[in-house]
Amino acid sequence: MIGEILNQSERYLVEGLHPRVIIDGIELAKDRLVEFLDESRVPKDVTNHEFLYNVCKTAISTKITQKLADKLTPVIVDAVLTIKKEKEPIDLHMVEILSMQHSSDLDTRLVKGLVLDHGARNSEMPKKVKNAYILTCNISLEPEKPTNVATINIKDAISREGMLMMERQYIDDRVRRIIDLKRTVCEDNDKKFVVINEKGIDPASLAMLASEGILALRRAKRRNMERCAKACGGVSINSVDDLKPEVLGFAGSVYQHSLGEETYTFIEQVENPFSCTVLIKGPNKHSIQQIKDAIYDGLRSVKNTVEDGCVLPGAGAFEMAAYLDLMKLKERTPGRMKLGIQALADALLIIPKTLAINSGFDVIDTILKLEEENRNGHTVGLNVYTGDPIDPLAAGIFDGYRVKRNLILSSITISNQLLLVDEVMATNK
């Protein structure tokens, strides 16, 4: 868009028109374009899944195959609706995107829970548990190195052994308090217990937990601690003094899956999750990266639409309608400023032109068809399969309102700055 505004402006600059005159016309056209943008937006019910599917599919269909887009669309929409809270902005950081290089790209799926990219470090721990209480904590269960420089004078081996025993006893007491909590909540039922710790757990502590049938994961990523609490419920604690049944979350299924040398832990069947994981699968890194880029675009398009509550007609329909509206403004504007309006109006056509080029159709014929239909009062875009005009709203092809608004404002501002570069440099001299 920026390049096309500069390209259209160059036609008049070569003929000696001053950049300031062009910019005055572009600014006048920008104000009208923003008004027309608000007039063109279409309010929609953002709780309608089919509508959100169309929004998502519009965003990702140009980046991946149609078959894969059909598969990813419900995954992306369900991910956004899972983390959505009433009267709160949508935080896409609560959607974890994890990739596994195996199987087919069509096996990509949504996990309404959490997938951790590591497993338990003790072979005696259970690999799969049902109906488990989840304790998320940031408690060190291993000997820690001092944070400050410390000097300890040990007289003999007995004193050294005594000091090590005290340190071991201190850590064991912490582990026993976790075990006591497990026994308290699981004594009269068949529930299990899972510990997810951000800090380390030494082998002795792992053995104590394994003897109680507790599945413990150590050194979990900090970003996953908040996601785990959002997905499973409960509260992440930083001290054993906070160990209470009220801080525990719950998951219906926790199991480990090994893939080569990697181990993944799945936490699923959670109630009212506000965090989820999109598990990407693909045969190679290139496919995985393609899917990941498409998912990022889809998530943001659905998020923007849910928060805006409205959309714009896609397939180049808005640009064609805006072009004709600016032509009317040009007729009402006296003097040379109408040349700036003409430059911006012609620049808008780069969107349907690019769609036509990418689809293999003749640009001039395509633009003439779309212009004729729009002059007859129909808001139409380009059907990239046939080259004919199409009603984008009926076909479910939508553009995001805020994305289009930011596109217009930022591209015009940057173009104007570039047009004035020579004038700024001359002033500096």
Question: Per-residue pLDDT tens for 75-131?
Answer: 999 999 888 888 888 888 888 888 888 888 888 888 888 888 888 888 888 888 888
Tell me: the pLDDT tens digits for 32-52?
Answer: 999 999 988 888 888 888 889
Tell me which of 428 and 252 has the higher pLDDT. Answer: 252
In a domain, 162, yes or no: yes
**258 and 162 together in one domain:** yes
Widest CA span of the chain, in angstroms? 99
**19 and 147 together in one domain:** no
Q: pLDDT band at 427, cuts 50/70/90? A: low
pLDDT at 163 over 80: no
Total domains, the chain? 2
**145 and 262 together in one domain:** yes
pLDDT at 146 over 80: no
Q: Which residue has the tokens 């007609």?
A: 313
pLDDT at 219 over 70: yes
pLDDT score for 296: 92
pLDDT score for 236: 87
Buried-state track 249-261, b at ≥16 Cβ within 10 A, e below 16: bbbeebbbeeeee
Mean pLDDT (whole number) for 400-429: 83
Mean pLDDT (whole number) for 398-409: 90
Q: pLDDT band at 63, cuts 50/70/90? A: confident
In a domain, 293, yes or no: no
**25 and 162 together in one domain:** no
Query: Which region, left, alpha or beta, applies to residue 23 given φ > 0 means left and ψ of -120 to 50 means alpha?
Result: alpha
Task: Report the amino acid identity of residue 145.
Answer: K
Q: Report the C-alpha gap between 20 and 416 in whole angstroms.
A: 9
Q: pLDDT band at 357, cuts 50/70/90? A: very high
Tell me: the pLDDT tens digits for 239-264?
Answer: 888 888 888 888 888 888 888 778 88
**192 and 332 together in one domain:** no
- What's the mean per-residue pLDDT of the chain? 86
**25 and 143 together in one domain:** no
Domain boundary among 272, 301, 323: 272
**341 and 195 together in one domain:** no
Whether the CA torsion 357, 362, 364, 366 is positive or negative: it is negative
In a domain, 233, yes or no: yes
**389 and 259 together in one domain:** no
Tell me which of 374 and 356 has the higher pLDDT. Answer: 356
CATH of the domain at 133: 3.50.7.10
* Residue 391 near residue 378 (C-beta atoms within 8 A): yes
Q: Encoding tokens for residue 276?
A: 């989820």
Q: Using H for helix, E for strand and C for coil, what is the string for the chain?
A: CHHHHHHHHHHHHHCCCCHHHHHHHHHHHHHHHHHHHHHHCEECCCCCHHHHHHHHHHHHCCCCCHHHHHHHHHHHHHHHHHHCCCCCCCCHHHEEEEEECCCCHHHCEEECCEEECCCCCCCCCCCEEEEEEEEEECCCECCCCCCCCCCCCCCCHHHHHHHHHHHHHHHHHHHHHHHHHHHHHHCCCCCEEEEEECCCECHHHHHHHHHCCCEEECCCCHHHHHHHHHHHCCCCECCHHHCCHHHCEEEEEEEEEEECCEEEEEEECCCCCCCEEEEEECCCHHHHHHHHHHHHHHHHHHHHHHHHCEEEECCCHHHHHHHHHHHHHHHHCCCCHHHHHHHHHHHHCHHHHHHHHHHCCCHHHHHHHHHHHHHCCCCCEECCCCCCEECHHHHCCEEEHHHHHHHHHHHHHHHHHHHCHHHHHHHHC
Q: pLDDT band at 275, cuts 50/70/90? A: confident
Domain boundary among 272, 298, 330: 272
pLDDT at 400 over 90: no
pLDDT at 429 over 60: no
**331 and 212 together in one domain:** no
**183 and 264 together in one domain:** yes
pLDDT score for 375: 84
Mean pLDDT (whole number) for 233-240: 86
Q: Report the C-alpha gap between 23 and 8 in whole angstroms.
A: 12
**138 and 29 together in one domain:** no
Q: Report the C-alpha gap between 352 and 367 in whole angstroms.
A: 7
Q: pLDDT band at 298, cuts 50/70/90? A: very high
Tell me: the pLDDT tens digits for 176-186?
Answer: 888 888 888 88
pLDDT score for 2: 92
In this structure, the strands spanning 276-281 and 109-111 are: antiparallel
In a domain, 296, yes or no: no
Q: Report the C-alpha gap between 56 and 300 in whole angstroms.
A: 9
In a domain, 182, yes or no: yes
In a domain, 147, yes or no: yes
pLDDT score for 348: 92
pLDDT score for 148: 66
Mean pLDDT (whole number) for 390-406: 89
Picking from 402, 205, 209, the residue whose alpha carbon sits closest to that of residue 311 is: 402
Domain boundary among 272, 287, 322: 272
In a domain, 56, yes or no: no
pLDDT score for 294: 92
In this structure, the strands spanning 276-281 and 95-100 are: parallel
Q: Report the C-alpha gap between 21 and 227 in whole angstroms.
A: 54
**194 and 338 together in one domain:** no
Mean pLDDT (whole number) for 204-225: 87
In a domain, 105, yes or no: no
In terms of residue numbers, what domain contains 217? 114-272
pTM, entire model: 0.79
